[in-house]
Amino acid sequence: MRILLLVSAFNGLTQRVWCSLREQGHDVGVELAPTFESGAAMTRAVERADPDLILCPFLKHRVPDTIYDRWPTVIVHPGPVGDRGPSSLDHAIRDGRDRWGVTALSAVEELDAGPVWATAVFDMPDQPISKSALYNSRVADAAMACIGEVVRKVADGERPIPSEACLRIVPVSGELPLLRREDFRIDWSRPATELERLVAAADGAPGAPAGVNGRSVCVFDAVASPEHTGAQPGTVVGRNLDAVAIACGVGTLWVGYAAELSGRRGTKLPAAQVIDASNAPFRRVPDSMAETTYVRDGAVGYLTFRSYSGAMYTEQCRRMTSAVEKALTEDTRVLVIKGTEHAFSNGIHLGTVDASPDPAAEAWDNICAIDELCLAIATAEQLTVAAFTANSGAGGVMAGLCADVTLAREGVVLNPYYDMGIFGSELHSWSMPARVGDHRASLLLSRKLPISVAEAARIGLISAVGPREWGEFTTWLQSAAQGYEEPATLGWMLAARAERRATDRPLSYYQTIELAEMARDFFDDRNAFSVHRRAFLRKTAADATPEKLRFATARV
C-alpha cells in the first residue's frame, strides 16, 4: 500500500513505523505537520501524495476534515479505549496504573474520539518508569501491534467500530485533564518514593519543578533511596559523580539530571552541573542508577552502560573507557558491552556542549573522549560483543560497531548519523565499510536515515537480532556469549580478527582523518553545527519536510 505518515516529528516511534512498513514492502512517505501554516496547506500536501492510508503515530496537530473525509486517517493514541487527552502517559505513571494501552482510531473533529481500528493493552512496570522510557518500550511495542492490525484491516476492506462497542479492559473516565509543569511541583517533605514517580511522569516535558539551594530548577532521572539522613527536606545531602542526593520527608531522592528554571526551562544537564553539591559528602547511589556495572559469568564478562537518554558527556565517556579497560584486565575470554533496557547510546552530549562557555572546545573534548572509548573496544585482546539493547544513534551506533560482534534486540532502530553539520568520528570510516562495503557504507552515512536492526542484520551491519521481551533477550544474549566463548568458535573468530588487522591500516589512520574533519566542523563551524545543535536541543520545528523522507526513497 501507499502509506503516508503524517506526524509532528520524525521521532523514535515514527522511525520504527517507517522502517517496519518499508520492510514489509509498502511505499511509505512522511509529511511533518509543523511545516504547514494552515490546514489547506496540509491538505494540498496530502493531495500530492494521494495515499491509500494515512497513519499518525506521533501527531500533536489537528487533522482537518478536508483530509480525514477523503482518506482513511488513523491516529495512534497512547492510551486505552475510552481515554482521551494529551497527558495520558503522564497520568498513567503519576497515578501508579498497573495496566495501560494504546488505541488506533479514526481522525474525527473531536480529538481521540473516533471509531476504533485496533487497541493493545500492556502491564505497567512494577517500579516507576520515566515517560520517555515507557514511550519507547511498551507503548511503542503496543503501537506497532495496533498499526499492524490497522494495515491488515484496511487492506481487507474492514472498517473501525465505535468506541462505545469496544471492550474496556482498562477502566478510564474519558478525557483526562492536561497536566502542566506546576502539577508536578516537588514538595521535598513528601516521601522520596512518591517524588520518584512524580519526576518519572514529568520526564522530558514539562519536567518536575523544584526549589534547591534557593534556586528554581527542573529535575529529571530520579531514583528513590530508603536512606534517611535526618536532614531538612530539600537539603543536598550527597553526591556521586554528577548525581545529587536530596533529603525528603522520608528517604532520599537521587537526581541524575536537572535544568535551570528561570522563566524558560534551560537545557537538561548532569545534575551536579546545575545543582551545587560541592560541599556534599560522597554517597553510594542506588544500584539502578550506577553509571556502569560489571558482572562476570565464568569466562564471559558483562559490562553495562547507563546514560540518561543515551547522551554521553566528556567525563562520562572517560569513565566508561576506564570501565572497559578495567573489565579487559579480568581473566575472561569474551567481554559483552551492553546498554540498559531503555537506553544504549546516542553519542556525544549536545546539551553539555551547548552549555559550555566554549562549545567548540567542549565538543572537541567530547568527541576525543568517545573516540578513546571506541579504540578501547576495537583494540581489545578479548573477543568483544556489543549489544544494542535500545534505540541508538550517531556515535552510539559507531561505538557498538567497533566490537567484534554486534547483536541487537528486536524492534531497535539505529540512526548512524543525524543531520547535525558534522562529519562524524568514532572510527566509522573503518567499521562500516569493513562490515557492508564502501558503497553501502557511503549510502548509509550520506543519507542519514534510520535503519531497523532487522535490516541491519540483512545487509551485514550487525550480526544477529534477539527477542524483544527483555527477559528473553537477556537469556538469548547470555546463550550467544557462551557460544562465542566455546574454544573452537573463539579460536576461529580471534584468528579471523588477527588476519583482518594484519592487512588493514592502523586505526589511528582512520581516527586522524575523521578528527581533522571534525576539527573544522567544530572550530570553523563550516556546516552550521552550532545552528543544528541549538535547533535539536530546542526541538525547533523543521521549515519543510526533508525530501529524503518523502515517497520512493530506495532501500540500501
Whether a cis peptide bond, with omega within 30° of 0, leads into 450 is no
Measured CA to CA, the distance from residue 72 to residue 118 in angstroms comes to 14
Alpha helices per DSSP H over 168-282: 192-201
54: which residues sit within 8 A by CB, 6+ positions away?
Answer: 3, 4, 5, 6, 46, 63, 67, 68, 71, 72, 73, 74
What pLDDT is recorded for position 552? Answer: 66
Picking from 405, 403, 375, 366, the residue whose alpha carbon sits closest to that of residue 484 is 405
Owner of C-alpha cell 512524580: 198
274-278: which pairs have CB atoms within 8 A and are 24 or more residues apart?
274/217, 275/212, 275/213, 275/215, 275/217, 275/236, 275/244, 276/213, 276/236, 277/236, 277/238, 277/239, 277/244
Torsion of CA 415, 203, 338, 405, to 10 degrees: -10
Q: Are 327 and 303 in contact (CB under 8 A)?
A: yes
Q: What three-state secondary structure class fits 236?
A: strand
Cβ atoms 458, 19 nearer than 8 A: no
Half-sphere exposure of 83 (CA within 13 A, CB side): 28
Element (H, E) at 12: helix 12-23
**Which grid coordinates belong to 41?**
496547506
**pLDDT at residue 189, as a whole number:** 97
Q: What does the pLDDT read at residue 451?
A: 96
**Residues near 334 by beta carbon (within 8 Å), at least 6 away in sequence:** 299, 300, 301, 382, 383, 384, 385, 481, 484, 485, 490
Cα separation, 555 vs 336, whole angstroms: 31
List, in order, residues 6 or more apart from 317 with CB less than 8 Å away.
348, 366, 369, 370, 372, 373
Three cell numbers, residue 94: 503519576
pLDDT at position 542, please? Answer: 85
Strand order across the beta sheet in which 392-393 lies: 392-393, 413-415, 451-452
CB 68 within 8 A of CB 46: no
Question: How far is it, in rounded angstroms, from Cα 208 to Cα 204?
Answer: 9
The helix/strand/coil state of 135 is helix
Q: Please give the Cα distance from 67 to 472 (Å, whole number).
A: 42
**DSSP notation for 21-84:** HHHTT-EEEEEEGGG-SSHHHHHHHHHHH--SEEEESS--SPPPHHHHTTS-EEEEESS-TT-B
Rounded to whole angstroms, the Cα distance separating 275 from 272 reads: 5
DSSP 411-468: T-EEES--SSS----TTHHHHHHHHH-HHHHHHHHHH---EEHHHHHHTTSSSEEE-S
3-state secondary structure of 97: coil
One pLDDT digit (tens) per residue for the chain, 556 residues? 999 999 999 999 999 999 999 999 999 999 999 988 888 999 999 999 999 999 999 999 899 999 999 999 999 999 999 999 899 999 999 999 999 999 999 999 888 789 999 999 999 999 999 999 999 999 999 999 999 999 999 999 999 999 888 888 898 877 889 999 999 999 999 999 999 999 999 999 999 999 999 999 999 999 999 998 999 999 999 999 999 999 999 999 999 999 999 878 999 999 999 999 999 999 999 999 999 999 999 999 999 999 998 999 999 999 999 999 999 999 999 999 999 999 999 999 999 999 999 999 999 999 999 999 999 999 999 999 999 999 999 999 999 999 999 999 999 999 988 889 999 999 999 999 999 999 999 999 999 999 999 999 999 999 999 999 999 999 999 999 999 999 999 999 999 999 998 989 999 999 999 999 999 999 999 999 999 999 999 988 888 999 999 986 544 5
Whole-number pLDDT of residue 556: 54
Distance CA 123, CA 513 (A): 49
Cα separations in angstroms, 472 against 101, 171, 227, 476? 22, 30, 33, 6
